[in-house]
Amino acid sequence: MQNEQELKELVRQKYSEIALQDKETNASSCCGAGGCSTEVYNIMSEDYTQLEGYNPDADLGLGCGLPTEFAQIKPGDTVIDLGSGAGNDCFIARSLTGETGKVIGIDFTEAMISKARINADKLGYNNVEFRQGDIEQMPVGGGVADVVVSNCVLNLVPNKKNVISEIFRVLKSGGHFSISDIVLDGILPANLQQAAEMYAGCVSGAIQKNEYMGFIKDAGFESITIQKEKKITIPDDILSGYLSAEEITTFKNSGTGIYSITVFARKPNCCTPGAGCC
């Protein structure tokens, strides 16, 4: 597997391509990457169409959950969306913050930022903005967000611990996040772990569930809760690009699970000197 910078460049290139694909192509693959499946549609993404603020032009079918549904966003909140893509979660968040709130989408792929800005202009929103940047070093000040959301993005970042620390930094005291992501329970076959396409497809970049939850706890968050969990099944016609028939059978019988989880956590409300949380 490549080093961190090479992995980031892989993701940047792949998601620049994905920005130009249609929703059906993205949703029938793994986060838009890897071969499309003829067996199953909607491998990871969930249905946004009934949510207020939904805009079909912004829905690329790349998510693995509905974090905004669980994020407890209130009118007037400032919300940051990590890996904002074409703006889908940002526009839904904006329907909850209203005109008095603010939504900031961060994405490091220029093609996605361009697409999101076009969508925001079409909608006439003046309180939704998109900033190009790395979520390991967010282009926002500390303590600015009431809520952070993200949908199937942390698994694409090599240093997930850094991102979680950044989330802690940008949240206000007492602020919280709701993030949907892919985690593992068990070990992936070596060929899946090493496949660049499957890294860009949100699978081989996922880490163990207990390690993921541990990073959140170690960063200083409290009230850590799994709001939703579902098992992800990768169809055989995608797996066959990386594994033999025998290896696919062994993998299915191994007990290894790939899961989408939506996690809530709160930054302590402790603005006392030396508390280290503000």
**Residue 277 maps to a domain:** no
pLDDT tens, position by position, 150-192: 998 998 888 899 999 999 999 999 999 999 998 999 998 888 8
Across the range 229-244, mean pLDDT stands at 87
C-alpha radius of gyration, the chain, whole number: 18
pLDDT tens, position by position, 77-123: 999 999 999 999 999 999 999 999 999 999 989 999 999 999 999 99
Length of the chain: 278
Instruction: Report which secondary-structure segment, H or E, holds 230.
Output: strand 222-232
**Residue 271 maps to a domain:** no
**Residue 253 maps to a domain:** yes
Residue 48: the pLDDT is 77
- Which range, of 36-45, 98-107, 196-205, averages the lowest pLDDT? 36-45
CATH code for the domain in which residue 38 is found: 3.40.50.150
Closest CA to 261 of 199, 208, 218: 208
Q: Which domain holds residue 262?
A: 4-266
Does residue 274 have a pLDDT over 50?
no
The 10 Å Cβ neighbour count of residue 33 is 24
**Residue 125 maps to a domain:** yes
**Residue 275 maps to a domain:** no
Please tell me the total count of domains within the chain. Answer: 1
Higher-confidence residue: 258 or 17? Answer: 258
**Residue 202 maps to a domain:** yes
**Residue 126 maps to a domain:** yes
Does residue 5 have a pLDDT over 60?
yes
Does residue 17 have a pLDDT over 50?
yes
Rounded to a whole number, what is the largest CA-CA distance in the chain? 60
pLDDT tens, position by position, 131-148: 999 999 999 999 999 999
Residue 148 region by backbone torsions, left for phi larger than 0, else alpha for psi between -120 and 50, else beta = beta
- Which range, of 26-35, 167-176, 197-206, 240-249, averages the lowest pLDDT? 26-35
Q: Which of 33-42, 43-52, 164-173, 192-201 has the highest mean pLDDT?
A: 164-173
Mean residue pLDDT across the chain: 85
**Residue 272 maps to a domain:** no
Closest CA to 89 of 13, 150, 159, 169: 150
- Grouping H, G, I as helix, E, B as strand and the rest as coil, residue 193 is helix
